[in-house]
């Protein structure tokens, strides 16, 4: 079982130097990108770089390759180049049909994270999440905000319905759900606020575009030392069924939540 990542860092698969550096970083997941961050003329180099990097491995990290969307002129060449690559999963952008995700997963020989980036994807989020080949959802907030004609808003007011739909769909299907990227590289307070918001909405972690964002995401989506200690104490004290623990009532679901917290803390 793959534990849901707190931090998932996108890297252009054409950037060998960045790929080598990420092996020493604290992100939980690496997504080597063949899509938006790679120039058209660099796609062949990116495909070869992604396959080679996955073969070399990223010890201790969840690994993924993001291919181009099914309606992209690069999609077929991506699939031919990276099918069977030694990664844990693939990321498929702009998913609007669960059947597309199933087909891509079958062709690539790995499960997929499906990106929710359009109004139709939001409408079909429950169907997409229920597809067995889909093991995670990722919010594509930039594209969705663009399609919805939303103004720049740090509170992400216009996106919250779609974000909550994605979380609900993922929870119904029992899969991972990740928040979208934060674009302002030097706005540390803004990143922290957006991570906190994503955590409160129920996301498991956040997709990132710069290594400097990793620690903030890990802190926001991972339990601190006090939470870990409290979870361990609750598990140790529980004897089964509903019972009093300290100043509250606990039952099986509280023990399950504590164990899930410890799994996310990697302890």
- Paired tokens of 81: 């180049």
Q: Are residues 253 and 166 in the same domain?
A: no
List the pLDDT tens digit at each of the 267 positions of the chain: 678 999 999 999 999 999 999 999 999 999 999 999 999 999 999 999 999 999 999 999 999 999 999 999 999 999 999 999 999 999 999 999 999 999 999 999 999 999 999 999 999 999 999 999 999 999 999 999 999 999 999 999 999 999 999 999 999 999 999 999 999 999 999 999 999 999 999 999 999 999 999 999 999 998 878 888 888 988 888 888 888 888 888 898 998 888 888 877 764
Q: Are residues 116 and 53 in the same domain?
A: yes
Q: Are residues 59 and 186 in the same domain?
A: yes
Q: Are residues 236 and 187 in the same domain?
A: no
Q: Are residues 34 and 109 in the same domain?
A: yes
Nearest-angstrom CA–CA distance, 146 and 218: 28
Residue 2 falls within a domain, yes or no?
no
Nearest-angstrom CA–CA distance, 37 and 11: 8
Nearest to 141, CA basis, from 179, 184, 114, 170 = 179
Q: Are residues 144 and 67 in the same domain?
A: yes
pTM of this prediction exceeds 0.75: yes
The CATH number for 104's domain is 3.20.20.60
Q: Are residues 154 and 231 in the same domain?
A: no
Range of the domain at 119: 7-221
Q: Are residues 193 and 254 in the same domain?
A: no
Nearest-angstrom CA–CA distance, 87 and 90: 8
Q: How many structural domains comprise the chain? A: 2
Q: Are residues 99 and 213 in the same domain?
A: yes
Q: For 3-63, give the secondary structure using H, E and C.
A: CCCCEEEEEECCCHHHHHHHCCCCCCEEEEECCCCCCHHHHHHHHHHHHHHHHHCCCCCEE
Q: Are residues 126 and 241 in the same domain?
A: no
Nearest-angstrom CA–CA distance, 216 and 212: 8
Q: Are residues 146 and 229 in the same domain?
A: no
Residue 112 falls within a domain, yes or no?
yes
């Amino acid at each position: 079982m793959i534990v849901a990542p707190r931090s998932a860092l996108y890297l252009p698969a054409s950037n060998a130097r960045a790929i080598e550096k990420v092996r020493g970083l604290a992100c939980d997941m690496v997504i080597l990108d063949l899509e938006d961050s790679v120039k058209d003329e660099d796609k062949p180099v990116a495909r070869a770089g992604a396959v080679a990097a996955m073969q070399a491995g990223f010890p201790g990290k969840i690994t993924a390759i993001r291919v181009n969307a099914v309606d992209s002129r690069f999609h077929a060449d991506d699939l031919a180049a990276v099918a069977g690559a030694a990664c844990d999963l693939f990321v498929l952008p702009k998913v609007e049909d669960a059947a597309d995700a199933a087909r891509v997963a079958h062709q690539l020989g790995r499960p997929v994270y499906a990106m929710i980036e359009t109004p139709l994807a939001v409408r079909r989020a429950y169907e997409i999440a229920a597809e067995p080949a889909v093991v995670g959802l990722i919010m594509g907030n930039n594209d969705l905000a663009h399609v919805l004609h939303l103004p720049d808003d740090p509170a992400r007011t216009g996106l919250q319905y779609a974000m909550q739909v994605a979380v609900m769909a993922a929870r119904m299907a029992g899969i991972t759900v990740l928040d979208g990227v934060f674009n302002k590289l030097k706005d540390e307070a803004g990143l922290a606020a957006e991570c906190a918001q994503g955590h409160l909405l129920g996301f498991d972690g956040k997709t990132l575009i710069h290594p400097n964002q990793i620690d903030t995401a890990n802190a926001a989506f991972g339990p601190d030392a006090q939470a870990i200690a409290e979870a361990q104490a609750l598990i140790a004290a529980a004897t089964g069924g509903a019972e009093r623990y300290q100043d509250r009532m606990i039952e099986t679901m509280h023990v399950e939540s504590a164990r899930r917290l410890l799994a996310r803390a990697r302890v």
